[in-house]
Structure 1
């Protein structure tokens, strides 16, 4: 036992015997202050409040986290700093999101700029996340797209249930999923996803629960009571100022 404890204390520098502390909003503010981040990302910070939002997830250095349908990788870069050099981030896109975010992720990942970020592209029903491999995942402003169809834009119908089952399988027992999305009027279910790119948060809670994830917490920092939730999120009157819910879910275990 003494030898085991001695080995544990000797290895503490590499966190072999103790978990790293959770990332607080102050820790994440330091990540955001990295001078290597782009001006465009800094401007987006004011709207998306990533220090407060990601603090809810309690990610740690050394974690493996997926940025699901992460597009150009704005959140992936922040997560890269949170989990640190011993951690791993998957920037996971389907072909549609990858094409949409190509300029962003190409510049962001050029010359191995973020060595702990892996760019993964796969069909929506096989995104390449192994079972029980993730400490956490985020899906930011893209959950509603599981219920949106636009054949002209090449966005075909997605089997949302199968998609959510993929995430649940990929999370380790106890792993967490952070979800941020544009709020629709209560009682509208998934219907506003097609017309307004919004989704009812009570529908979301029931949806994730149905696929094995427990609702844990929410935070209010992206709420906007002045948004009557009747406008398309791209409407200039509300773009960047929508009422957004932030939910944390956990895989039991």
Structure 2
């Protein structure tokens, strides 16, 4: 549940103004301490007028920030699926109620059937979700990795940006830590995403935590919300077949 929200939201012109927007909740401002949104939004290059997909947006923390950053002329698609909706749906409903973020639309679709419009997006944001491409459980549909990245790639405009933020695993472990620790090897991630039709552009160190041994599940209280995280920026490879 979010508190301290107002319905008259002023949408600001820059990422820094997005973070400082007075309509943001106290809970979101508390999360800012570990998510460092000023630095993240600045790095990823979100701009007014963009159309951005917040993939598996959860309660909508980034969706709200993006709403302010893209301005009224821009658009944010806040995506979720049935599993996420069962966990974070109440928070998201509170955030978006009464049309308080009018340039945000919600998309509830499963990962293998996103049904995104071709060449419609300037940016796709994946925050702590990429590792779930390789996670399996009774409650989580098995992801068709090739189809998933094809959907993302085809939805992006030429020059479109894919941003991936995730919990780092021990080096040289590939995808293996995704199942039990909800982490993934960052070198594997870079190579995997490049092979799926994206060109690596840059990385940010803003969410690094060298004291994280990368051996604990990200839900362990000793490291929760303080994991070592990599932040990657990719560009759609228009020559990929």
Is the shorter-chain TM-score for this pair beyond 0.5, marking a shared fold? yes
1:161 is displaced (CA, Å) by: 2.2
Q: Does the CA contact (< 8 Å) of 1:121 and 1:128 recur in 2?
A: no
Match of 1:158 among 131, 143, 146: 143
Q: Does the CA contact (< 8 Å) of 2:81 and 2:109 recur in 1?
A: yes
CA–CA distance in 2 between the matches of 1:209 and 1:69? 21
Q: Which residue of structure 1 aligns with residue 233 of structure 2?
A: 248
Q: Which residue of structure 1 aligns with residue 183 of structure 2?
A: 198
| CA gap 1:60/1:176 in 2 versus in 1, 3 angstroms | same
Match of 1:174 among 135, 153, 159: 159
Alpha-carbon displacement from aligned partner over 1:16-64 (angstroms, at most 9, x marks no partner):
xxxxxxx8xxx32221111111100000011100110121121211110
Q: Does the CA contact (< 8 Å) of 1:140 and 1:179 recur in 2?
A: yes
Describe how 1:12-23 pairs up with structure 2 within 5 A: none
Match of 1:116 among 98, 103, 122: 103
Q: Does the CA contact (< 8 Å) of 1:120 and 1:128 recur in 2?
A: no
Runs ≥4 residues deviating over 3 A: none
What are structure 1's unaligned runs of at least 5 residues? 1-22
CA–CA distance in 1 between the matches of 2:111 and 2:227? 27
Describe how 1:67-216 pairs up with structure 2 within 5 A: 67-151=54-138, 154-216=139-201
CA–CA distance in 2 between the matches of 1:156 and 1:125? 8
CA–CA distance in 1 between the matches of 2:217 and 2:110? 27
CA–CA distance in 1 between the matches of 2:156 and 2:85? 22
Instruction: Say what the alpha-carbon RMSD is for the aligned residues.
Output: 1.2
Question: 3-state SS of the aligned residue for 2:106?
Answer: strand
Q: Which residue of structure 1 aligns with residue 9 of structure 2?
A: none
1:155 is displaced (CA, Å) by: 1.3
1:236 is displaced (CA, Å) by: 1.0
1:160 is displaced (CA, Å) by: 2.1
The alignment of Structure 1 onto Structure 2 pairs a total of residues equal to: 226
CA–CA distance in 1 between the matches of 2:125 and 2:110? 18
TM-score (norm 1): 0.87
Point out the structure with the larger helix share.
1
TM-score (norm 2): 0.91
Q: Does the CA contact (< 8 Å) of 2:54 and 2:126 recur in 1?
A: yes
